[in-house]
Structure 1
Amino acid sequence: MLRRFLLGLLLIFGFGMLAYAGEFSELRGVWIDVRSIPGDEAGVRHMVERLSRAHFNALFVESFYRGETIYPSEFLESAGLSAQMEHFRRPGFDPLRVFIEEAHRRNMQVHAWFHMFYVGLDAPGPVLSTFPQWAARNRDGSSGYTQGGKRFFFVCPLHEGVLEFYRGLLGEVVERYDLDGVHLDYFRFPDPTIADTCYCEACRQAFRRVKGFDPLALDPVENFEAYREWVAFRARELSDFAASLSAHLRRLRPELLLSCAVKPFGFPLEGYPGFLQDWPTWGRKGIFDFLVPMTYSSRPQEFEGMLRFVRTFLRGVPFCAGVWCMGMDAATVFEEIQRAREHTPCGVVLFAYPYLGDDLLAALSRDAFATFSPPPGKEDFPRLVFSPLDPQDFLEKRRTIRAKRVDAPCVVDGVLEELWREADWQGDFTLIVGGKPSRDTKIAVLYDEECLYVAFVLWGASREGKITRRDGPVFYDDSVELFLDPWASRSFFFQFAANFLGTQYDGSSFLGARFDGTWQVGVAEVVGATVVEMAIPFKTLGRGTPRVGECFGVNFCRNDLTQGEFSTWTEVPGIYGASFFFGTLEFGP
């Protein structure tokens, strides 16, 4: 009788616990780059065993990189390309096969990680050498763009033949290998603020057929409304590409998990997605089983802010948080994993294998990944979601500040003159993760015929900083940022930032740091606070003096790195540049 009673308890509670564990199984992934893949079978098996000991359960193995595969590909060979990367081909080694064998033996998944449209570094690479007509073209007709001393080359997904190429390439790997998933990366255009593509004749003609004008004639700043249509056109074409490719792979392998790395930026409510990836639509249409937003930051609150942004627009869609590990200590990695768990039960993917030293792996196995969790299967992912945040909640909190007109120009030195006394001073900032910051910030705005004047009073701040180069990353010092939308467009904006040394940074939503405006900053210390003043000529904003009653979109932001806090005047869903949620700057008498 006692044995039956105990068996009954086991059936009730034991299976209940198993069901609970199954419901909350999370993906614990790591991106494994080509350079880290060993050149022999023993090395690959040791790598998998090492990650298994740290309780990872999903390996995202870089399988197609700069136009070459780590496995032998008959498809590439038939297209006139190399069948396999040379350092794997020479010894006749297929690392993907070994990864799958060893991972499955340890109850781990393997997702083949494909670099899609980024195909060449400092040279066009084999794909564009074979198919030069596929190159993404800049406005001047050139291909490639330079960033950080390197030149990057992209395929344009709108070109004829590109979709068929990737259907063949991916179709081959999912039919030949017992993969658990396929993970797409660089499934995007280049960042339009760095390289605005593609302006080949075929793309321009396709747009002209729909809209009746040539996108090459558009200036992103002067014609931002029409330019936004060009952005939306390319984003829709990329979404159609994604849907077609997804349908093809699911016909071949219905059980396959499809995922995509996405940039967690853009203006989804305005149809202007960052990097032309309309990831909210991809999620809504179920094109991928889950997405992996690259929520990369070494600053945990900023990391969580990006998760809030994703959660606001991926409504009921599973996503795994991408965690940046380069140069991060174990405590910061653990904190970000924990913050991720508060926003998604789906899991995390760590970037990347080279940064997972023995000490970090051992610490993960003791703490964040203390017990093994079976990887979620295809049937699990639809349930691995938390309730979304509601954009309407943020829209209802938009604030208004009035700019007071003054007759004489302000002296921009951080020492507030008497004329600031009657300005509309406001504070009550909100953290990008919700809640109130540790230290107060006050802001006010004045204007005259020529300039807009902005003052920040930052309690608890001192004049310290490291960045001294114009347009350097002042956001990595204690600093302030001003976002201005001079046409109240809810999409286009200018960004002005300064640290407490007075170092300036400026940019715009379409041009990024390529925008260089003329404006002034003054910084001074007062008792218990630092004051930052800005003077921005209306000419710099491309417009004349505003009329009384006219409105700009605006937000004021503070980076308080001493406290690890990021706050805004008008609450936004996680990131500063969410222009649809900006408050209102009303010009008064």
Structure 2
Amino acid sequence: MTLLRRPPLQLALLLVAVLFAVAVLGLGLVRAAFYEPPSATSVADNGVAAVQAPVPSVAGRCGTQEATAPRELRGMWLTTVYNIDFPSKQGLSQEKVKAEYLKWVDLAVARRHNAIFVHVRPSGDAFWPSEYAPWSNWLTGRLDGSDPGWDPMAFMVDEAHQRNLEFHAWFNPYRGTQPAPSGAGADLTKLPADHALRTHPEWRIAYPTGKNSRLYFDPGVPEARRFVEDAMLEAVRKYDIDGVHFDDFFYPYPEKGEDFPDDASFAKYGAGKSRADWRRENVNLLVREMQQRIAEIKPWVKYGISPFGIWRNGGEGSDTKGLESYDTIYADTRKWVREGWLDYIVPQLYWTIGFDKADYAKVLPWWAKTVKGTSVQLYIGMADYRVGEKGDWSDPAELDRQMAMNDKFGVQGQVHFSAKQVRSDRLGSVSRYQKAHYATPALQPRMERLPVAAPPAPRITGVGRGEKGETILATAATEGVSWALYRTGESRATLVATGRAGAAVVDPAPPSGPVSYCLSGLDRSGNEGPLSEAFTTGPS
């Protein structure tokens, strides 16, 4: 990361804290640690016109009322590396791992999320039986690739779908190990004998030197790039995932005084380019090839990346003074959007409104402008993990204000880092933004690229009451992958529940007195079919 100017003592203390975090977490949680919280300032005019808060999509008419539903991706990252979120410990039994996961997906439902992003390849390993990668030690507690005897990926995808949550499989492409002692570090003897980084030394780079060393697949070697693509695409082929997701780890964040030692591959494949341009093109190739190959295998699977929040500072970049992904980690994120190589992008805007080095109110409009006119949807990575820090993060309303700003700039969703913070609800911040922004269910945003197979209108045949006072609707066979239930109100019919096809159609909190319901079916791309005829309940 780029160090910003601080007093010497502050800087020394900060470096100690950051080195500890890198050694312990190894996940980039310190991306924002170089940015001290700002004093409260007003939001500046950035020369980008804000749009009005998104108008709910119109599904049709339910009786005499227009039926509307918000369309917004709402998700959280479920982090497995270093057992940050899940599983809580290495080497847990199958029963305990399953029980923990069910609590996470139930939490997602309770917080009215509609997607979960699960870390299934944190460092050259796998949370599924793979021909390309060893079993993750964050699951098994072993570095030797021991088989746990069951398939966590199949279970996780199925349970997410039962709750009508999209499952986005989150991969780190090039990391091969994590630092010792929790990971193998650069010690090859701790890896299985058939590990690709043992059998292909020409693919292997150790970085940095010392106790924080990791092994990487060299992004500059075409065969290594193809291998990591194959390893990730194996999951696309084998499982009914809804999305392929990367975060910001391509070339590693730099270590002071050390450059990534890729001299051999640069000499062989550099083709006269500068090293920086060559590295950027290596990352571009991975991003573009993954898009093409996913579409060939399963064209309905979404593809997105969550990069560091700053592309470049000044000029055509944002009005910021921080680390630049373009120059520091060779991620030309703007190019990916302009070329349409992604379905969605989730920049990590882990700073407060008014922060002088990276002001949320300045970075967000830059991203909104960047995606404008493209087919790429903009979601924002939200810093739930920073709530409670000193300064502006001590205000529980900060995330609420940021999400209100997201609405004004037409953002189509949020992903929250991470699941543990969503559960802990620090300072009541999660409950606050849920009430303001996630008060009702939401359908997924439509993507024009995805296949369309909107189902015909279903039919409601009767209603009943459950033990907790909920309304249970009887329906004729409903086609499609999921359903959406609308209920009439004072002026319009609104979305009150969603579910997977085959699940009971339930209004969990019906009002007293007669109302009318309408039901629709949706395909796996979020395309909604016509509404059923309105079914009116009798007096309560």
Range of TM-score over shorter length: 0.5 to 0.7
User: Which residue is 2:266 aligned to?
Assistant: 203
- After superposition, the Cα gap between the structure-2 partners of 1:87 and 1:258, relative to the gap in structure 1 and judged at 3 Å, is same
SS of structure 1 residue aligned to 2:405:
helix
Deviation at 1:300, TM superposition (A): 6.0
The one-letter code of the counterpart of 1:326 is Y
Q: Deviations over 1:193-235 (max 9, x none)?
A: 755335322212322x325xxxxxxxxxxxxxxxxx4312221
Does residue 319 (structure 1) correspond to residue 368 (structure 2)? The answer is: no
The one-letter code of the counterpart of 2:268 is Q
User: Which residue is 2:414 aligned to?
Assistant: 348
Structure 2 Cα separation of the partners of residues 251 and 380 of structure 1: 13
Alignment of 1:373-388 (within 5 A): 373-379=442-448
The one-letter code of the counterpart of 1:161 is E
Q: Deviations over 1:473-531 (max 9, x none)?
A: xxxxxxxxxxxxxxxxxxxxxxxxxxxxxxxxxxxxxxxxxxxxxxxxxxxxxxxxxxx
User: Which residue is 1:63 aligned to?
Assistant: 120
- After superposition, the Cα gap between the structure-2 partners of 1:152 and 1:87, relative to the gap in structure 1 and judged at 3 Å, is closer
SS of structure 2 residue aligned to 1:154:
strand
TM-score normalised by L of structure 1: 0.52
Alignment of 1:48-447 (within 5 A): 48-76=105-133, 81-82=134-135, 85-87=139-141, 91-122=148-179, 123-124=185-186, 126=191, 128-136=197-205, 143-145=206-208, 150-192=212-254, 194=256, 195-207=258-270, 209-211=271-273, 229-267=274-312, 269=316, 272-299=326-353, 302-316=359-373, 317-329=376-388, 330-359=396-425, 360=428, 361-379=430-448
The structure with the greater share of residues assigned to strand is 1
Structure 2 Cα separation of the partners of residues 115 and 261 of structure 1: 11
Structure 1 Cα separation of the partners of residues 198 and 362 of structure 2: 41
Structure 2 Cα separation of the partners of residues 113 and 266 of structure 1: 21
- After superposition, the Cα gap between the structure-2 partners of 1:377 and 1:180, relative to the gap in structure 1 and judged at 3 Å, is farther
Contact 2:368 2:411 in 1 (8 A): no
Contact 1:116 1:185 in 2 (8 A): no
The gaps in structure 1 that reach 5 residues or longer are: 1-7, 137-142, 212-228, 383-589
Structure 2 Cα separation of the partners of residues 368 and 272 of structure 1: 33
Q: Deviations over 1:515-571 (max 9, x none)?
A: xxxxxxxxxxxxxxxxxxxxxxxxxxxxxxxxxxxxxxxxxxxxxxxxxxxxxxxxx
- After superposition, the Cα gap between the structure-2 partners of 1:310 and 1:170, relative to the gap in structure 1 and judged at 3 Å, is same
SS of structure 1 residue aligned to 2:112:
coil
User: Which residue is 1:37 aligned to?
Assistant: 86
User: Which residue is 2:74 aligned to?
Assistant: 28
SS of structure 1 residue aligned to 2:404:
helix
Q: Deviations over 1:343-363 (max 9, x none)?
A: 343111111112223445544
The gaps in structure 2 that reach 5 residues or longer are: 1-59, 88-95, 180-184, 318-324, 389-395, 452-540
TM-score normalised by L of structure 2: 0.57
Contact 1:112 1:179 in 2 (8 A): yes
User: Which residue is 1:413 aligned to?
Assistant: none
SS of structure 1 residue aligned to 2:441:
coil
Contact 1:30 1:349 in 2 (8 A): yes
- After superposition, the Cα gap between the structure-2 partners of 1:313 and 1:336, relative to the gap in structure 1 and judged at 3 Å, is same
Structure 2 Cα separation of the partners of residues 93 and 364 of structure 1: 38
Deviation at 1:192, TM superposition (A): 4.9
Structure 2 Cα separation of the partners of residues 272 and 43 of structure 1: 38
Structure 1 Cα separation of the partners of residues 177 and 398 of structure 2: 33
Structure 1 Cα separation of the partners of residues 438 and 97 of structure 2: 28
SS of structure 1 residue aligned to 2:415:
strand
Structure 2 Cα separation of the partners of residues 150 and 335 of structure 1: 37
Structure 2 Cα separation of the partners of residues 86 and 118 of structure 1: 19
The one-letter code of the counterpart of 1:94 is D
Q: Deviations over 1:168-215 (max 9, x none)?
A: 2122101111101010124421235755335322212322x325xxxx
SS of structure 2 residue aligned to 1:276:
coil
The one-letter code of the counterpart of 1:337 is M
Q: Deviations over 1:344-398 (max 9, x none)?
A: 431111111122234455444433311111223433899xxxxxxxxxxxxxxxx
Structure 2 Cα separation of the partners of residues 378 and 314 of structure 1: 14
- After superposition, the Cα gap between the structure-2 partners of 1:313 and 1:377, relative to the gap in structure 1 and judged at 3 Å, is closer
Deviation at 1:261, TM superposition (A): 1.6
Contact 1:264 1:309 in 2 (8 A): no
Structure 2 Cα separation of the partners of residues 106 and 300 of structure 1: 38
Structure 2 Cα separation of the partners of residues 74 and 339 of structure 1: 45
Deviation at 1:278, TM superposition (A): 1.1
RMSD: 3.1
Structure 2 Cα separation of the partners of residues 369 and 276 of structure 1: 36
The one-letter code of the counterpart of 1:265 is I
Q: Percent identity?
A: 23
- After superposition, the Cα gap between the structure-2 partners of 1:239 and 1:370, relative to the gap in structure 1 and judged at 3 Å, is same
The one-letter code of the counterpart of 1:110 is F
Deviation at 1:242, TM superposition (A): 1.5
The one-letter code of the counterpart of 1:242 is V
Which of the pair has more CA radius of gyration? 1
The one-letter code of the counterpart of 1:233 is W
Structure 2 Cα separation of the partners of residues 351 and 177 of structure 1: 25
User: Which residue is 1:218 aligned to?
Assistant: none
Structure 2 Cα separation of the partners of residues 101 and 255 of structure 1: 17
Structure 1 Cα separation of the partners of residues 354 and 438 of structure 2: 18
The one-letter code of the counterpart of 2:260 is T
Structure 2 Cα separation of the partners of residues 344 and 193 of structure 1: 37
SS of structure 2 residue aligned to 1:356:
helix
Structure 1 Cα separation of the partners of residues 410 and 327 of structure 2: 22
Structure 1 Cα separation of the partners of residues 251 and 136 of structure 2: 26
- After superposition, the Cα gap between the structure-2 partners of 1:120 and 1:186, relative to the gap in structure 1 and judged at 3 Å, is farther
Deviation at 1:53, TM superposition (A): 0.5
Deviation at 1:263, TM superposition (A): 1.8
Structure 2 Cα separation of the partners of residues 9 and 342 of structure 1: 27
Q: Deviations over 1:272-330 (max 9, x none)?
A: 55521111111122211011111112556522322233234344332211111124054
The one-letter code of the counterpart of 2:417 is F
Q: Deviations over 1:57-90 (max 9, x none)?
A: 11000000122111221333xxxx4487424966
SS of structure 2 residue aligned to 1:75:
coil
